[in-house]
Copies of this chain bind each other. A is one copy, B any other.
């Protein structure tokens, strides 16, 4: 039996794009419904950002516990309980999901666990797990359905031998030998994680460096760190084949950068390449929403699709697949719906990227290579953590801060940090980029001593040839 319900705004998807959009819409007084067929919080809270950070905290602690004697602390033999590491991570996700539930209640966002299908720009059909259907009318729809691992014929994910991040996050049995295909943030973080707990990890990247979107200097330091940690990394390399001989025995053939074939046998393969938008079966095309060749929703600067009244945000629209990009697009879409005259866009050049292995890698703005490719006249300042008192005091001297400034205006155009706290330190540079701060301003900002952040100040001074500690 079908009946109609009426909302101002319906958001499809409850991830960091969708739930933020729903809350923002409700805060603005709109009667808002959020529909998702799975857990509140989406991939981010349940299968991405949050649970991986819990795992990585355990990995870091494992690393430090093993080195505790250097700090005057004796621990006896250090072992780990892999299932418990995973269990804690799942628990953290559970807590955060409850947090969103609370926020929805507080802001009076209604939540419906169902599959949604867009019938028209003001009509959605929602099908619950028990097959019951509801028709929902609304003034505006925000599509925030995210993305998921693509099917790659050469590497068919079976969830057991070939796995994606999703299965990696709940695998209770630790692989002994792991092949990771793809050295983006996901591949790199899981390589670090499993290696920290004693898994023998080989990571293969087709492009010429680990973390291909990062500055060359950052990738170089990471490669050195991975080598020291015992991770085998092949860049400019291909995984030519993976063959499941039997469960837990997978033969792989890698072609390295010199064209040499390397054979190895592993018990698990993590496929960390290829994402596809979750746009199939939503009825978008039928409702007049244009998709690109790969299925991503086409949107304008205000996250509006080709169908008036339908907006799309986050991973399903492509570009950087990052939770904070989705959350900011949520704000853009809601603002455009609330008041088309005050609609604004997002500066996609100001979206930071973070990888939470150790040392961490973070950046915002242009890489040196990109700046030069764009013909920008740049001034570069750099400061290594080896010269930082705080880094020495906490035994974390790997890495550097590299800042890129426009030579004419002195304004910052790019920032790259590798180091123990890089993902937090990048926030200062995100603000710097937002307000177009200059090297002179950053260098003249009093930074507390002793902090790692002093390296930001010194890098800015270095761009003017005025650093003190190098």
Contacts and interface: CB of A to CB of B under 8 A. Distances in A.
A71 B99 contact: no
Contacts of A447: 324, 352, 427, 430
Interface string A296-333: 00000000000000000000000000111101100000
A53 interface: yes
Given A49-B389, A92-B393, A324 B468 contact: no
Nearest to A350: B446
Contact of A50 (B103, B327, B393): B393
Contact of A72 (B51, B58, B96): B58
A45 B393 CA distance: 10
A236 to B, nearest CB: 28
Nearest to A324: B449
Contact of A96 (B353, B389, B434): B389
A77 interface: yes
Kindly name the residue among A75, A353, A354, A437 whose own CB sees the greatest number of chain B CB atoms within 10 A: A75
Contacts of A27: 466
Q: How large is the interface on A (under 10, 10 to 19, 20 to 34, 35 or more residues)?
A: 35 or more
Contacts of A103: 468-469
Given A393-B53, A428-B427, A75 B72 contact: no
Interface of A: 16, 20, 23-24, 27, 44-45, 49-51, 53-54, 57-58, 61-62, 64-65, 68, 70-88, 92, 95-96, 99, 103, 322-325, 327-328, 346, 350-354, 362, 387, 389-390, 392-395, 421, 423-428, 430-432, 434-435, 437, 441-442, 444-454, 456, 466, 468-469
17 contacts: A23-B468, A49-B450, A54-B393, A57-B393, A65-B68, A68-B75, A72-B81, A73-B85, A74-B80, A99-B387, A103-B468, A324-B446, A324-B447, A324-B448, A324-B449, A430-B445, A431-B432
